Amino acid sequence: MISQKMVELGSKRSVIREIFEFGKKRAAEVGAENVFDFSLGNPSVPPPECVKETLLDLLQNGDPVLVHGYTSAQGDAKVRQQIAESLNSRFGTNFDAGNLYMTVGAAASLSVCFKALAVPGDEFIAFAPFFTEYRVFVEAAGGTLKVVPPNYEDFQIDFEKFEAMIGEHTKAVIINSPNNPSGAIYSEETIVRLCRILTEKSEALGHPIYLVTDEPYREIVYDGGKVPFLTKYYKNTLVCYSYSKSLSLPGERIGYVLVPGEIVDFEKTYAAICGAGRALGYVCAPSLFQQMVARCEGKTSDISVYKKNRDLLYNGLTEFGYTCVKPDGAFYLFVKAMEEDANAFCERAKKFDLLLVPGDDFGCPGYVRIAYCVKTEQIERSMPAFQKLAETYK
């Protein structure tokens, strides 16, 4: 006998992967330029020049034994110090190498945090719409995921429903801002209110409720939008970061967990993060890429392309009669389906070679996600298809 749960996880393709595969099949039939695949959150903008320059320099001039060798399990100390200093200069914080644990992207950062925190019976709360893998990671760590229904008005938090969900088994709350799939950024007002509730409830329950903040889109913001830096608002915060989106490096798998010094029982908590990394085999993140990100920290790919895409898509779609909240960050537009069943809507969209993702798996039925991290040309070419699709509902 092997784990039935793992067999299921490994056999059932995600809806997004399913659509992606369909897109490849259609592209072979009608030509790639006629298939408007908006399914994947794969950055469409190349990494900034510093990525290539630093990698070349490391490969040409670095000591290959060091460049490709094991680092400390939690990541190279110098790399972690450089990242901490970059964060301090950007956010006015006071971190050092000892606050960071290098990982293979946000997926690993989240898994490490959940594993470090969870004891049997623990509940983790996420807000819909949410990144579907949270459930997989939380359950793998032995916890249960509870989901606060969406606030459809602006995709901020429905505080009433949230408060009602907190109980003695609540171990942590997971947030993701800028958000996949809504593109919403939690305002400072939302964050202050959230942190006040967490503080009050932690006191009332007699144990801390942790805040796990998933931030792969931290720098992908438009129109001067601000993303509050959470450790400054709530001490029991664990930050999960990834360079997948900011530096367009999703295939290279590099990120970190940040444990602020103020967190309750810092030494124990950091040890639990290291222990979880060890238990999951997430030790010694890729050395070459650790060293590269230390030097490129704070830089981003050309975000202006995403902004252009967002504007084209948002303006076009609202003109055709679609309803959506204008995204302030990330690279997704979350649109209301033109019929109740978003799956049926996505099936109809396929007839126009528009590949969209139903919101059901994100905890938001009746909505669809459009990933606009694509070539601007694809958006321009897809507009008539979006218009025709809307017309079929008139």
* Closer Cβ to ligand PLP, 48 or 316, answer by number: 48
Side-chain-side CA neighbours of residue 110 (13 Å): 25
Instruction: List the structure tokens of 332.
Output: 């997704």
Using the minimum distance from each CB to ligand PLP, give the nearer residue, 100 or 389: 100
- Which helix H or strand E contains 89, and what residues bound it? helix 77-91
| Alpha-carbon span 18 to 290, nearest angstrom | 32
Interface pick for ligand PLP out of 16, 55, 100, 106 (rule CB under 6 A): 106
> With binding defined as CB under 6 A, does residue 155 bind ligand PLP?
no
- Cβ-based nearer residue to ligand PLP, 214 or 219: 214
Q: Which residues contact 54 (CB under 8 A, 6 or more apart)?
A: 291, 292, 295, 296
Regarding beta strands 170-175 and 210-214, do their DSSP bridges make them parallel or antiparallel, or are they unpaired? parallel
Can residue 86 be called a binding residue for ligand PLP (CB under 6 A)?
no
Show the tokens assigned to 349. Answer: 């969209």
Kindly write out the interface string for residues 36-75 of this chain, putting x where it contacts ligand PLP by CB under 6 A and - elsewhere.
-----x----------------------------------
**Ramachandran bin of 246, using left for φ above 0, alpha for ψ from -120 to 50, beta for the remaining angles:** alpha
> If binding is defined by CB under 6 A, does position 126 make contact with ligand PLP?
no
Contact letters for ligand PLP, residues 223-242 (x by CB under 6 A): -------------------x
**91 Cβ contact partners less than 8 Å away, ≥ 6 residues apart:** 229, 232
**Does position 129 bind ligand PLP by CB under 6 A?**
no
Answer yes or no whether residue 244 interacts with ligand PLP by CB under 6 A: yes
- Closest separation between CB of residue 241 and ligand PLP, Å? 9
- The helix (run of H) or strand (run of E) holding residue 136 is helix 133-140
Between residues 208 and 216, which has the closer beta carbon with respect to ligand PLP?
216
208 or 363: whose CB is closer to ligand PLP? 363
Residue 183 interacting with ligand PLP (CB under 6 A): no
Q: How far is the CB of 3 from ligand PLP (least distance, A)?
A: 22
Tell whether residue 250 is a contact of ligand PLP (CB under 6 A): yes
Annotate 142-209 with DSSP letters as a single string. Answer: T-EEEEEPP-TTTSS--HHHHHHH--TTEEEEEE-SS-TTT-----HHHHHHHHHHHHHHHHHHTSPP
Residue 131 touching ligand PLP (CB under 6 A): yes
Among 35, 107, 147, 230, binds ligand PLP (CB under 6 A): 107
Regarding 105 and contact with ligand PLP (CB under 6 A), the answer is yes
**Cβ count within 10 A of residue 275:** 14
Closer Cβ to ligand PLP, 107 or 368, answer by number: 107
Residue 115 CA to residue 112 CA, distance in Å, equals: 5
Q: Which residues bind ligand PLP (CB under 6 A)?
A: 41, 105-107, 131, 176, 180, 214, 216, 242, 244, 250, 255
